[in-house]
Amino acid sequence: MSNATDETFISQLLAQMTLEEKIGQLNQINPGDEFDPSLLQEGKAGSLINASGALTGMGFSDSGSAELSNHFQKLTLESRLKIPLIFGRDVIHGFRTVFPIPLAQAAAFDPDLARQAASIAAREATTSGIKWTFAPMLDIARDPRWGRVAEGNGEDPFLGSQMATAIVQGFQGEDISAPDKLVACAKHYVGYGAAEGGRDYENGEISEPTLRDIYLPPFRAAVEAGAGTLMSAFIDLNGIPATANRRLLTDVLRGEWGFDGFVVSDWESIKELIHHGVAEDDAHAARLALQAGLDMDMVSGVYLNTLGESLRQGKISMEEIDEAVRRILRIKHRAGLFDHPFTDPLRATRDLLTPESRDLARQFARQSMVLLKNDRDLLPFKDFRRILVAGPFVHARGELFGTWTPDGRAEDVTPLDEALRQTAPKGTELWFTENVDMALHLAHQADAVLLLLGEHPVRSGENCNVSDLGLPPGQAEFVQAMTALGKPLALVVFAGRPLAITQQVKVADAVLYAWHPGIEGGAALGEILFGQASPSGRLPITFPRATGQVPIYYNHKNSGRPIDPNGEFKTRYLDLPPSPLFPFGFGLTYTRFEYSNLKLSAETLRGALEINAEITNIGTSPGTEVVQLYVRDLVGSLTRPIRELKGFQRVELQPGETCRVTFTLREEDLAFTRADGTFGVEPGSFHVWIASDSKSGLNGHFRL
Ligand code: NOJ
């Protein structure tokens, strides 16, 4: 929220600004090849984006990025009013220390780790002069064909909101003006994940209750955590491109939620209003966006080139321009840029890739991997003398990063084969090959086979959509050929999305989903495979059996003819069971847990209710369980999801140990967007589960 110092300062500055200087603040530029320094010297840019790689690959040392941004800042401070630039960059899941992709981070079900990782990313990125990251991405995704599913937290609004809060806090800290903190940008506001057919940039339709209860909550959480900025989505949502949606950008965001920061467009998305067919030319597009509440134009130049003339023609007002400038100056002021516009180049040598950062990256990678199958306890590997390790990821380095890592360096990564060698117990021989024929040949003499498969990072991320969720070409055949040998077979799948690996899960003895695990992915994997650590990740998104099941998500509505395998006129496919391959929340570990003694503190929730159950480690090794709380509102004025996640806790238990896990459910946790459009609870009956995933659990009832 604004404070008096910000506001007095901004008002005084605004009073001195010419129209050109004001419009300059609304303009973000990309310093490409034809960069014109006079744009900075004349105050015609408020921000500089480095997404083009302008700060990488230019032959600078670690400290060179700071020198370069300081150089741009110096030019800017030659301008009349000396309003500093804010440097923005895509610091999505780490900077030099690359953490697991966001989807994998969500799989750790540990927002505190995400907070710590974001804090490290902020410390590292600010060494380059970057003060603003285009993260976190908070798009709910129910369609893994969409490549950007890798960049978000999966399908659930509760988990997504917890992650949003934690990541914003990690980037921004208590005080964003601290030299090692970054301004967060919650993106892409809103509904971007609902792009039809999983095709990035496509249109989407989302009903108002679903928008409010599923897609908006993570953004609201980010705003409540103090996120300084938001980015509008490329999407045309319900016929209004998000970049020109006044109801969402102004009425909801500022009016209902009290957001006082600024909104930036996505790359050229203001100009794209012409392609959408809601604007006839640049000037029209710029007007629509400004009047919707969009403050900064990311690189399309249409604000810079047309807003002055639109003002002279009386099509927009000075108040509208002033309001956008005010918001941008507010965040720059809050970020301390007026007092500290430059970056100490020596920080890079201290703050990049520290041992503590690597440790956290390793812990995060370990916690994010999800064990999907483990027949006869094949994993962790024990008593195998010779293990054949084969597949396209055998020598992976930078491939472990995943999408959006412009500042990660492959040479910082221990290659996967080496990392496995370092973590394997003495006496275990590992034979590596990428070659299928060689693998088939060697497998005969091996005691067990480990296949490292999945998607190369270039197959996930922005606009990397697929129509087939199967493994990339050739890999399914490879798995099939290897199973013919009858050796114990474990698969590790690297991917930026859920893959429909139904057939491979069937034939393999063990399957571990490693996502794109980041800089320490190899060591983390080795520790899990060889038993120094046990897996504890859970799926933050439903895994379909086949592409044709998409969209498939756990918190769906019941329908009038709910799923029933024996029902002829029940919702179904003729050629596939209706259930997913693995449900949301699912994940195994090296031990087993038993749930018992569910207790509710009352039969009726008045204000709040305590729900608890006993969890016992009934296996022989220590392990971590992610205990989940779900509810179902049985009757509503609108149909309600069959389950909704309302809480989760990670508990670590020794063999034989029992603990009681307690959740508090408050009345407001049961609120939803009702038939009359208001938000609140409705009295009635509820089901509640304490569960290890979204399909199982101990079931109880209460009334509200
Ligand atoms: C386009 C992407 O949609 C957005 O996520 C990113 O932050 C911007 N480009 C800037 O690189």
Q: Is the pLDDT of residue 2 over 80?
A: no
Say which residue the tokens 């100009």 belong to: 271
Which pLDDT score, from 0 to 100, does residue 417 have? 98
Q: Is the pLDDT of residue 428 over 80?
A: yes
Mutating to test ligand 1, I would choose from 202, 231, 234, 235 the residue with most ligand atoms within 8 A of its C-beta, which is: 231
Confidence of residue 60 (pLDDT cuts 50, 70, 90): low
Confidence of residue 568 (pLDDT cuts 50, 70, 90): confident
Say which residue the tokens 């699912």 belong to: 586
Residue 37 vs residues 34, 75, 304: alpha-carbon distances, Å: 10, 7, 16
- 368 within some domain: yes
604 in the same domain as 518: no
649 in the same domain as 533: no
Distance CA 439, CA 428 (A): 18
Q: Is the pTM of this model over 0.85?
A: yes
Give per-residue pLDDT as tens, 652-686: 999 999 999 999 999 999 999 999 999 999 999 99
521 in the same domain as 377: yes
Give per-residue pLDDT as tens, 65-119: 899 899 999 999 999 999 999 999 999 999 999 999 999 999 999 999 999 999 9
Mutating to test ligand 1, I would choose from 267, 269, 297 the residue with most ligand atoms within 8 A of its C-beta, which is: 267
Query: Within 13 Å and on the Cβ side, how many CA atoms surround 522?
Result: 23
613 in the same domain as 480: no
Which pLDDT score, from 0 to 100, does residue 5 have? 75
* Mean pLDDT, all residues of the chain: 96
Which pLDDT score, from 0 to 100, does residue 33 have? 67
529 in the same domain as 600: no
- 474 within some domain: yes
359 in the same domain as 449: yes
Q: What is the mean pLDDT of residues 452-468?
A: 97
Where would I find the H helices in 26-110?
Answer: 38-41, 64-76, 102-107
DSSP string covering 108-121, please?
A: TT-HHHHHHHHHHH
Q: Is the pLDDT of residue 59 over 80?
A: no
Q: What is the mean pLDDT of residues 411-433?
A: 97
- Protein residue whose Cα sits closest to atom 7 of ligand 1: 134
End position of a domain, from candidates 510, 541, 572: 541
Reply yes or no on whether 509 is catalytic.
no
Distance CA 296, CA 329 (A): 11
List 110, 213, 266, 669, catalytic entry = 266
Which pLDDT score, from 0 to 100, does residue 31 have? 86
Q: Is the pLDDT of residue 626 over 60?
A: yes
Question: What CATH number is given to the structural domain containing 612?
Answer: 2.60.40.10
Residue 167 vs residues 32, 140, 438, 697: alpha-carbon distances, Å: 30, 16, 45, 30
| Peptide linkage before 190 cis (omega within 30 of 0) | yes
Mutating to test ligand 1, I would choose from 182, 462, 463, 465 the residue with most ligand atoms within 8 A of its C-beta, which is: 462
Which pLDDT score, from 0 to 100, does residue 56 have? 45
SS (H, E, C) 635-679: CCCCCCECCEEEEEEEEEECCCCEEEEEEEEEHHHHCEECCCCCE
616 in the same domain as 535: no
602 in the same domain as 662: yes
Confidence of residue 1 (pLDDT cuts 50, 70, 90): very low
Domain span at residue 620 reads 593-703
Q: What is the mean pLDDT of residues 469-483?
A: 97
Give per-residue pLDDT as tens, 15-34: 999 999 999 999 999 987 67
- Protein residue whose Cα sits closest to atom 3 of ligand 1: 266
Say which residue the tokens 């992610």 belong to: 626
- Protein residue whose Cα sits closest to atom 9 of ligand 1: 267
Check if 364 has its Cβ closer than 6 Å to any atom of ligand 1: no
- 365 within some domain: yes
- Protein residue whose Cα sits closest to atom 4 of ligand 1: 266
- 515 within some domain: yes
531 in the same domain as 619: no
Query: Are the C-beta atoms of 380 and 590 separated by less than 8 Å?
Result: yes
Q: Is the pLDDT of residue 457 over 60?
A: yes
- Dihedral sign of CA atoms 636, 642, 644, 650 in order: positive
- 460 within some domain: yes
Residue 639 vs residues 155, 207, 505, 636, 675: alpha-carbon distances, Å: 19, 13, 35, 6, 9
Ligand 1 midpoint to CA 303 (Å):
18
479 in the same domain as 403: yes
Q: What is the mean pLDDT of residues 160-175?
A: 98
- 37 within some domain: no
End position of a domain, from candidates 541, 556, 572: 541
475 in the same domain as 368: yes
Q: Is the pLDDT of residue 53 over 80?
A: no
- 289 within some domain: no
Question: What CATH number is given to the structural domain containing 392?
Answer: 3.40.50.1700
End position of a domain, from candidates 541, 573, 602: 541
- 564 within some domain: no
521 in the same domain as 409: yes
Instruction: Say how many domains are in the chain.
Output: 2
